[in-house]
Amino acid sequence: MDTLFTNVRILDGSGTLPYSGSVLVQGKRIRQVGRSTAAISPAGATVIDGAGATLMPGMCEAHTHFSWNDAATLAEIQTMPLEEHVLWCAKVARRYLEAGFTSCVGAACAKPRLDVVTRNAIDAGQIPGPRYLAASQEITVPGGLGDETLPHLPFPEFSFGVNVNGAEDMRRVVRMFLKYGVDSIKLNLSGDNFTPQSPAGTTWMTDAEVAVAAEEVKLRGKRIAVHARSADSVKQALRHGVEIIYHASFTDTETLDMLEAAKDRIFVAPGIAILYAMLNEAEPWGITRAKATEMGYQAEWDAALESLSKMHKRGVRILPGGDYGFAFTPHCQNARDLEFFVKYLGFTPMEAIRCTTLYGGQIMMKPGELGVVKDGYLADLLLVDGDPLANLAILREPKRILAVMKDGVFAKPPPIGDAFGRTLAGSDAQRAWGRAA
């Protein structure tokens, strides 16, 4: 089924100013983008009159955890039984798609195959969900972020992350995840203030361990993504050719120089929402501002704002997303990152949009065919009620996301009128669809 969007304000995702026009979708792809309908002959296409709504590319969430179950602790996520956990992931995947995230980069899952199984079910059409790149569990070392085993209960099932000890143990675990079919391996290079025994400024893996992971991943054409908050861990990632760096809160001049030198290869997804939430919104879970400050969150927030603003000025690609799926950062508020980029990191709203569209296509390994409204690109599109450039917050209001299309098919269909032009949805009275002659 082909679709013609008419009377839409096209925000194409490339950074170009919006313009009024029409977009024809044939099969999976955008076939024509015009400044008027005159040049488009839509024989047989379903015509969607956008009535001035914004048509933009689907968004990309660059650091996704479908299997985080909106709990306040790592243990509560980890101890969810497998069967419930699979169903949870399927439900969350659908919610992301309907919220306008047509692409998600998996950043780690809570049990070995949750991400792979979810991705495969989406690709097979068993369940609705975004394009998805499946991650491994977090790989860590004893005592590091993600090692939740207790001295008297050393069982891997109790651990959020998979523990490795030494280079050959790393090889064994990386090979296991590659066998399962992951698109990326997740390494916890630094600690995190969430786990006070391994705080954000600490760095945990040896170069020998990271090198073995990089070697195995490269052999199979896959990628490594790292949890790297400390400056040393960011530098370690860059030394080993890592492409996806999560957080990067602490930097020094040397780190920034290395990031800039690698800017055409790397993506940084800071996930600053969780820092903000821990400082300002986590009191219902016992984390007052004083407690969060004591845990190191104020110092990290200040450092992250400075580091990321400098990276942005140096042209490093910074993408929204990160660590939604905790009680303090519930799923599907992810577009909030765009507001944070503008408010705290010095982005313009247009730059923030481009991070989730143009850069989204690039991090999804589909540069040149995903993330822009352009002839020949994949038809992952949103119809948005209002102007995101004037108010980015509308991108996290379900009612304002009027329609979501992935691969040319509506995942969330637009509000429609009946055959006589009368509309079924009250406030959208002027929006209607029909079939072109």
Asked if residues 231 and 280 have their Cβ atoms less than 8 Å apart, the reply is no
CB of 70 to Zn ion, least distance (A): 14
- Establish how many alpha carbons lie within 13 A of residue 254's alpha carbon, considering only the half-sphere containing its beta carbon: 9
Asked if residues 226 and 237 have their Cβ atoms less than 8 Å apart, the reply is yes
Tokens 């991943």 belong to which residue?
Answer: 217
CB of 394 to Zn ion, least distance (A): 26
DSSP string, 356-375: HTHHHHHHTT-TTTSSS--T
Distance between CA atoms of residues 23 and 45, nearest Å: 11
Q: Is 323 in the site for Zn ion (CB under 5 A)?
A: yes
CB of 397 to Zn ion, least distance (A): 25
Of residues 56 and 269, the one with the C-beta less far from Zn ion: 269
Binding segment toward Zn ion, per CB under 5 A, in 99-107, 209-217, 339-347, 377-385: 99-107
Of residues 22 and 356, the one with the C-beta less far from Zn ion: 356
Give, as ranges, the residues between 247 and 306 that touch Zn ion (CB under 5 A).
none
Q: Is 337 in the site for Zn ion (CB under 5 A)?
A: no
Give strand pairing partners of 184. 135, 223
Distance between CA atoms of residues 182 and 135, nearest Å: 5
Of residues 340 and 377, the one with the C-beta less far from Zn ion: 340
CB of 7 to Zn ion, least distance (A): 40
CB of 271 to Zn ion, least distance (A): 6
Asked if residues 213 and 187 have their Cβ atoms less than 8 Å apart, the reply is yes
Stretch 100-139: interaction string toward Zn ion, x if CB under 5 A: -------x--------------------------------
CB of 138 to Zn ion, least distance (A): 8
Distance between CA atoms of residues 436 and 244, nearest Å: 45
How is residue 96 written in tokens? 């992301």
Of residues 12 and 323, the one with the C-beta less far from Zn ion: 323
Of residues 54 and 67, the one with the C-beta less far from Zn ion: 67
CB of 408 to Zn ion, least distance (A): 31
How is residue 34 written in tokens? 């015009």
CA distances from 330 to 11, 100, 301, 343, 421 (A): 28, 16, 20, 20, 39
Q: Which residues contact 183 (CB under 8 A, 6 or more apart)?
A: 106, 119, 133, 134, 135, 222, 223
First to last CA, the chain: 14
Q: From start to end of 229-288, where are the E strands?
A: 244-247, 267-269
Of residues 5 and 324, the one with the C-beta less far from Zn ion: 324
Asked if residues 210 and 162 have their Cβ atoms less than 8 Å apart, the reply is no
Of residues 186 and 396, the one with the C-beta less far from Zn ion: 186
15, with CB counted inside 10 A (0-12, 13-18, 19+), is middle
Query: Which residue has the closest beta carbon to Zn ion?
Result: 323
CB of 35 to Zn ion, least distance (A): 41
Which of 228, 225, 224, 226 is closest to 200 using CA atoms?
228
Q: How many residues bind Zn ion (CB under 5 A)?
A: 2
Of residues 12 and 300, the one with the C-beta less far from Zn ion: 300
Of residues 107 and 319, the one with the C-beta less far from Zn ion: 107
CB of 187 to Zn ion, least distance (A): 12
Give strand pairing partners of 132. 104
CB of 322 to Zn ion, least distance (A): 6
Of residues 229 and 431, the one with the C-beta less far from Zn ion: 229
Site of interaction with Zn ion (CB under 5 A): 107, 323
